[in-house]
Chain A
Amino acid sequence: MLKDKHLTVTVSPHIKTALTTEKMMWIVSCALVPAAGAGIYFFGFHAALVITVCVVSSLLTEFLCTLLMKKPATIKDGSAFLTGLLLALCLPPELPLWMCALGGFFSIAVTKFAFGGLGYNIFNPALAGRAFLMGAFAKEMTTWKTLQVFPDGITAATPLNLLKEQGYDSLMKVFDSHSHLFRELFIGRVGGSIGETSAGLLIIGGLILLFARIITWHIPVSYIFTVMVISYFTGGVFGIPFHLFSGGLVLGAFFMATDPVTSPITPKGQIIFGIGCGILTMLIRIRGGYPEGVCYAILLMNSVTPLIERYSKTKIFGVKR
């Protein structure tokens, strides 16, 4: 290892501002606090336990990995804390705690440290952890806490689930009017993962990130715009606010897809990335086996990020290739 700081060249993203990784991670975590608070408020004490266990297991795994690999301790940079928090926010509120711990371990150890630690991971650790838990415990991962009164024995839990399994009519039976449904979705008083339901608070968090210049507009805007266009053509005017505010779209678009390590660097690449996420999300929501596709869509686009970067390189003018 080179000791001279000026000669050490590391892989991108290179930090050009005064914004350190540590500061960035903590700002993102703070931006998530309102949504997490709402989750605990709506879903109860067990949601708080899920968040705590995910964060603790992520931090512990980070600590053990740096210890075993004899790397400098990175536990204080906040990345593991953020991963644990994000993972918890996309888990159902009543998931057994040992599963949460396993998810945190998987996120940090397999998706991050097997690839060399922060900055080298190919996939977003929190989402990979969630997808792992989804594959591992399909039943527990789709057991939601019901918040609405369900007439006629309708038991599906999240609005997206309801739409997929029982159709539009039963959705209307539960929420009697569009405006009521959209209001509940915006506030977050619907079944779903801990931190994904409150679209309003998440948008506030996302705006904080935008104004703090932690993320740029390219990915969230292209992602959400694509989803809006497709939902208009498949579900009409009603579809736009429904698909926008339900499921993990806002959380995914602002907090997960924008992860600087696993998304493209160039603006052009970011827009391609966002559009791809939008198309895949809607493809899975409408035609896929799962009611929600945000997690898989972002993971799939993570996997093609190197290819997007390769083909969206900024051209150097005056140089023939």
Chain B
Amino acid sequence: MEREEKSNTGYLKELTKGFIRENPIFVLCLGLCPTLAVSNLVENAFGMGIAFFFVLLCSNITISLVQKLIPDEVRIPCFIVIIASFVTVASLLMQWFIPDVYARMSLYINLIVVNCIILGRAEAFASKNNVFRSMLDAIGMGIGFTAGLFIISAIREVTGFGTFLGFRLIPENIKPITIMILAPGAFFTIGFLMALFNLIRIKKGKVSK
């Protein structure tokens, strides 16, 4: 959350930094609760990703638009109210369009409101930058988050169910490793993916030296 974005880099960098370099899940380690809770199925992960993307984009745009109007002392409560309103919208829309996915994860959709990534981007980026930059930032972070969620959920669904988006990948007679869709599987998946990210970073660091 304390991360400050002061670099005047190009717009493209604003967009792509969320993909890997500042990936919200694996590098910034923010917003982990929904990441782990809804990543047992790829379908759930997409639902979460879309809702998250929507809220992040709308709140980033809105906050960068109204930043001048909000007194500094009450900015956090104001941000929270703005975010909470968009979460309500997202949750009502999901309830209407994809009721079965929503029913499975309504708790975690509602909890987007306290997702540290969104408040973090609002505080660290959108409240200091113009609308266009904030929009790019939101898109980049949203893609980074959704992609991270997608990777975790793909690993868990394939190993834990033997399916991908409901299609059977691994033949029935090979038993899936059920624990991967239970709670421990989520912790292991994210733990070892973080280790992989670290490994890549260490390797890169050695090369550049």
Contacts and interface: CB of A to CB of B under 8 A. Distances in A.
Interface in B154-203: 175, 177-180, 182, 184, 188
A137 B188 contact: no
Interface residues of A, number: 10
Interface residues of B, number: 8
B53 to A, nearest CB: 32
Chain A at the B interface: SS class: helix
Interface centre among B179, B184, B188 (most CB of A within 10 A): B179
A132 B179 contact: yes
B36 to A, nearest CB: 16
Contact of B188 (A99, A102, A110, A138): A110
A96 B174 CA distance: 11
Interface string A125-160: 000000010011110100000000000000000000
Contacts of B188: 110
Contacts of B177: 102, 136-137
B175 A135 contact: no
Contacts of A110: 188
Interface in B57-106: none
Interface centre among A96, A132, A135, A140 (most CB of B within 10 A): A135
Interface in A180-203: none
A82 to B, nearest CB: 24
A137 B184 contact: no
Nearest to B188: A110
Contacts of B180: 136
Interface in A153-170: none
A126 B51 CA distance: 42
A146 B184 CA distance: 31
Contact of B178 (A96, A102, A135): A135
Contact of B179 (A96, A135, A140): A135
Interface in A89-119: 96, 99, 102, 110
A120 B21 CA distance: 32
A132 B160 CA distance: 13
Nearest to B174: A98
Nearest to A132: B179
Nearest to B179: A135
Given A136-B178, A137-B178, 6 more contacts: A96-B175, A102-B177, A135-B179, A135-B182, A137-B177, A140-B175
9 contacts: A96-B175, A102-B177, A110-B188, A135-B184, A136-B177, A136-B179, A137-B175, A137-B178, A138-B178
Pick the 3 closest A-B CB pairs, nearest first: A135-B179, A136-B179, A136-B177
